[in-house]
């Protein structure tokens, strides 16, 4: 693995895979689901027929593009329901974590951190609940929390690229709305974003989370054209715990396909690239670190279905298994982002995963952001507005080969600042992440 210096903008936009780039920090009602597999898919015609007959139980919202007028009372009711859910999740979290000194101080820091960023959170929340460009809580499966949110560009004048996004939350407090800021900002660049919700612990363990994520990806692959998305330009992305869950889902799918299983509802060939943001991919190397950070070993092992399951849910370990080599060759290009000052999940997690993938011949790019923390790349930097190296790289990869989209990106106005700089700096200082 080679290293390229971060001195110029061109190095930041390096498109070659198998490289590592370090970027210096800079503050500046139900319908039939038709399968829409991209060319080259390994899904058999028999699977096609099974997928055409496949229906998701429960009531699906009508497939369609945004622009419908929602009633104010309905939106208020939805906001109240979401608030209740988040409150219940918080209470559940406290029950499992206990109320020891460490967690009292962490929760206090989290409260102050959220208060400092509240000017931005309120603007994003207003967009999430009241914008006609957001379609919330689309049912994709029959399990609790099998819902996803869609974020649309203003103009749906043709099929748009799609990012299927799995949010983080320490496998305990993940929620689809956490992706609303990313969804809004990517939608401004003519990209549809689908934020997938999934069961959290204790409602489910890691196996349930991976299953839910895979179901969500399947729904997107097979239905996104009905919403204006391009089924041939679907990208998978996860952040923190969501990066781990989505990587597990992607690798599981590749292993099934490598074994020749026919009863599959989506294919890895439908995913143009995988983006992992601040993720952990080898749980065996992280369990002690998490324990020291307050995600206690006993709790973490309960989430991961016991110590004996750590390797099974570690993509970085599973790809080294010789029996999975064919599965690795099926993976799409993998692009990993990580901050070097990330103390929640240290950057070695992405470094080790990238190195293992490269040794096995997978197309891999590792981009490190000097001095960036776990929350900088996903929260503080987007709230700051202006230039954002990670966001620019993400958009450039998605729009690669689309000259019209790239030209629009070059002329796009700077992203709007949502939080004053002084509050952002204070939030970085107090952040418990």
Catalytic residues: 240, 342, 374
Burial of 224 (0-12, 13-18, 19+ CB in 10 A): buried
Token pair listed for 232? 């041939």
Angle between helices 241-258 and 206-223 (to 10 degrees): 70
Q: Which residues contact 15 (CB under 8 A, 6 or more apart)?
A: 396, 397, 400
Beta bridge partners of 275: 237, 335
Separation of alpha carbons 351 and 380, rounded Å:
23
Cα angle at 391 between 332 and 179, to 5 degrees? Answer: 80
**Residue position matching structure tokens 């370990």:** 317
**What is the Rg, in whole angstroms, of the alpha carbon atoms belonging to the chain?**
20
Burial of 8 (0-12, 13-18, 19+ CB in 10 A): exposed
DSSP string of 50-77, one letter each residue = HHHH---SSPPPPP--S-----HHHHHH
Angle between helices 421-430 and 101-116 (to 10 degrees): 170
Q: Would you say the C-alpha torsion 423, 425, 429, 433 has a positive or negative sign? A: positive
Token pair listed for 273? 């690239």
Q: How far is CA 238 from the centre of its chain?
A: 2
Contact 37, 270 (CB under 8 A): yes
Beta bridge partners of 433: none
Cα angle at 119 between 175 and 67, to 5 degrees? Answer: 60
Q: Which residues contact 398 (CB under 8 A, 6 or more apart)?
A: 161, 163, 191, 233, 235
Token pair listed for 190? 């003519």
């Amino acid at each position: 693995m080679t290293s390229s210096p971060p001195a110029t903008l061109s190095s930041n936009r390096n498109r070659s895979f198998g490289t590592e780039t370090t970027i210096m920090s800079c503050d500046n009602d139900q319908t039939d689901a038709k399968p829409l597999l991209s060319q080259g898919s390994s899904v058999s015609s028999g699977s096609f027929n099974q997928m055409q007959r496949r229906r998701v139980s429960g009531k699906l919202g009508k497939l369609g593009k945004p622009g419908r007028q929602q009633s104010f009372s309905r939106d208020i009711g939805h906001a109240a329901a979401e608030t209740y859910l988040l409150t219940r999740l918080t209470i559940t979290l406290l029950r499992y974590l206990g109320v020891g000194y460490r967690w009292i101080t962490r929760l206090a820091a989290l409260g102050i951190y959220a208060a400092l960023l509240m000017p931005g959170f309120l603007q994003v929340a207003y967009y999430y609940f009241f914008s006609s460009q957001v379609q919330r809580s689309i049912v994709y499966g029959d399990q609790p929390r099998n819902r996803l949110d869609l974020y649309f560009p203003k103009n749906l004048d043709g099929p748009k690229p799609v990012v299927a996004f799995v949010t983080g939350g320490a496998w305990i407090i993940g929620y689809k709305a956490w992706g609303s800021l990313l969804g809004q900002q990517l939608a401004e660049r003519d990209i549809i974003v689908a934020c997938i919700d999934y069961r959290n612990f204790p409602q489910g363990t890691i196996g349930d989370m991976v299953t839910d994520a895979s179901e969500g990806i399947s729904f997107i692959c097979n239905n996104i054209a009905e919403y204006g998305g391009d089924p041939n330009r679907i990208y998978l992305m996860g952040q923190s715990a969501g990066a781990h869950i989505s990587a597990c889902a992607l690798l599981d799918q590749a292993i099934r396909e490598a074994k020749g299983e026919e009863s599959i509802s989506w294919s890895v060939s439908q995913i143009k690239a995988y983006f992992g943001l601040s993720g952990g991919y080898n749980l065996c190397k992280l369990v002690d670190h998490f324990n020291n950070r307050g995600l206690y070993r006993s709790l973490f092992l309960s989430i991961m279905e016991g110590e004996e399951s750590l390797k099974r849910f570690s993509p970085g370990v599973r790809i080294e298994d010789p029996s999975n080599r064919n599965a690795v060759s099926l993976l799409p290009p993998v692009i990993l982002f990580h901050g070097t000052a990330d103390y929640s999940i240290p950057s070695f997690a992405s470094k080790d995963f990238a190195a293992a993938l490269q040794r096995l011949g997978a197309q891999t790019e590792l981009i490190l952001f000097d001095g960036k923390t776990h929350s900088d790349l996903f929260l503080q930097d987007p709230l700051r507005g202006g230039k954002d190296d990670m966001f620019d790289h993400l958009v450039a990869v998605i729009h690669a080969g689309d000259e019209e989209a790239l030209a629009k990106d070059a002329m796009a106005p700077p992203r709007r600042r949502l939080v004053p700089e002084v509050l952002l700096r204070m939030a970085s200082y107090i952040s418990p992440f």
